[in-house]
């Protein structure tokens, strides 16, 4: 295999946004393959046995799924060694980024997915699960407020620890106005800072259109005119 590395993605998917953002930040030219209509197929299962997105396939045929793992691989395989996104030359800085990525995956994203997963079947969130998500958001808010940090990991620069959390939290309000992370003031300030930082790679409107499309999808689910 040769040519560009490939990313199998779905436009509305936050973990795909994380990977696409990292690729754009590092000026990696990806071939984007939209699998919205085919990701449940047996053919796609040969690329990703869990039938999920994103999946990355490198130019030598190496395959990887799980967005955070793909993001790390992109930085480590193609980024500069001192990339603030995930610095290979600074063990402790990278370990702190790992720490917050694990918090995001194990606590914040878990809280979020527990609340919104039922939505895909019923058009309703699981309100009984909201306390765990709110707790995770309070922790994040306190972390950012107490340390007066612009970004999640210590230091003045955007890192992988910000991106996954950012792309997941920005979809919350698409499901219901009850899930508005902007009530957490430090989280809201951090979201504005990350959005500002990402402006050079978001100017073409791709991420905004993807969010609008998800909002439309969710609105149709709520009205019962669309099924997953």
Ligand X SMILES: N[C@@H](CCC(=O)N[C@@H](CS)C(=O)NCC(=O)O)C(=O)O
Looking at the Cβ atoms of 90 and 98, the one nearer to ligand X is 98
Work out how close the CB of 134 gets to ligand X at its nearest, in angstroms, rounded to a whole number.
Answer: 21
Residue 166: other Cβ atoms inside 10 A: 24
Whether 15 contacts 164, CB under 8 Å: yes
Work out how close the CB of 68 gets to ligand X at its nearest, in angstroms, rounded to a whole number.
Answer: 6
Looking at the Cβ atoms of 3 and 228, the one nearer to ligand X is 228
**What are the helix (H) ranges across 26-129?**
42-45, 67-78, 91-103, 109-116, 119-122
Residue 143: other Cβ atoms inside 10 A: 16
Residues of span 2-61 touching ligand X by CB under 6 A? 10, 13-15, 52-54
- Of 13, 67, 159, 164, which one is the catalytic site residue? 13
Is 13 annotated in the active site?
yes
For ligand X (CB under 6 A), the number of binding residues is 10
Residues of span 125-154 touching ligand X by CB under 6 A? none
Spatial separation of the C-alpha atoms in residues 164 and 96, rounded to whole Å:
15
Residues 6+ apart with CB under 8 A from 46: none
Looking at the Cβ atoms of 7 and 53, the one nearer to ligand X is 53
Q: Is residue 32 classed as helix, strand or coil in its secondary structure?
A: strand
Looking at the Cβ atoms of 99 and 113, the one nearer to ligand X is 113
Residues of span 50-89 touching ligand X by CB under 6 A? 52-54, 66-68
**Burial classification of residue 222, based on how many CB atoms lie within 10 Å of its CB (0-12 exposed, 13-18 middle, 19 or more buried):** middle
Spatial separation of the C-alpha atoms in residues 139 and 155, rounded to whole Å:
19
Work out how close the CB of 67 gets to ligand X at its nearest, in angstroms, rounded to a whole number.
Answer: 4
Q: Is residue 92 classed as helix, strand or coil in its secondary structure?
A: helix
Looking at the Cβ atoms of 15 and 79, the one nearer to ligand X is 15
Lookup: tokens for 221? 């689910």
The tally of CA atoms less than 13 A away on the side-chain side of residue 143 is 19
Work out how close the CB of 189 gets to ligand X at its nearest, in angstroms, rounded to a whole number.
Answer: 25
Residues involved in catalysis: 13
Q: Which residues bind ligand X (CB under 6 A)?
A: 10, 13-15, 52-54, 66-68
């Amino acid at each position: 295999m040769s040519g560009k590395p490939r990313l199998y993605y779905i436009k509305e998917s936050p973990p795909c946004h994380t990977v696409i953002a990292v690729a754009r930040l590092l000026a990696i030219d990806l071939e984007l393959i939209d699998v919205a209509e085919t990701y449940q197929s047996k053919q796609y299962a040969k690329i990703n046995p869990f039938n999920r997105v994103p999946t990355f396939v490198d130019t030598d045929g190496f395959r990887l799924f799980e967005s955070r793992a793909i993001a790390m691989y992109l930085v480590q395989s193609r980024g500069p060694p001192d990339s603030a996104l995930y610095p290979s030359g600074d063990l402790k800085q990278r370990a702190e980024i790992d720490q917050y990525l694990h918090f995001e995956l194990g606590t914040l994203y878990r809280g979020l997915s527990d609340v919104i997963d039922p939505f895909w079947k019923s058009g309703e969130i699981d309100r009984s699960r909201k306390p765990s998500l709110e707790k995770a958001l309070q922790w994040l808010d306190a972390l950012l407020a107490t340390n007066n940090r612009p970004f999640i990991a210590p230091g003045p620069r955007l890192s992988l620890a910000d991106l996954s959390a950012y792309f997941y939290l920005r979809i919350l309000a698409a499901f219901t106005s009850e899930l508005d992370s902007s009530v957490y003031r430090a989280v809201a300030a951090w979201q504005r800072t990350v959005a500002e930082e990402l402006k050079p790679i978001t100017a073409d409107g791709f991420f905004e259109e993807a969010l609008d499309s998800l909002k439309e999808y969710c609105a149709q689910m709520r009205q019962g005119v669309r099924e997953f």
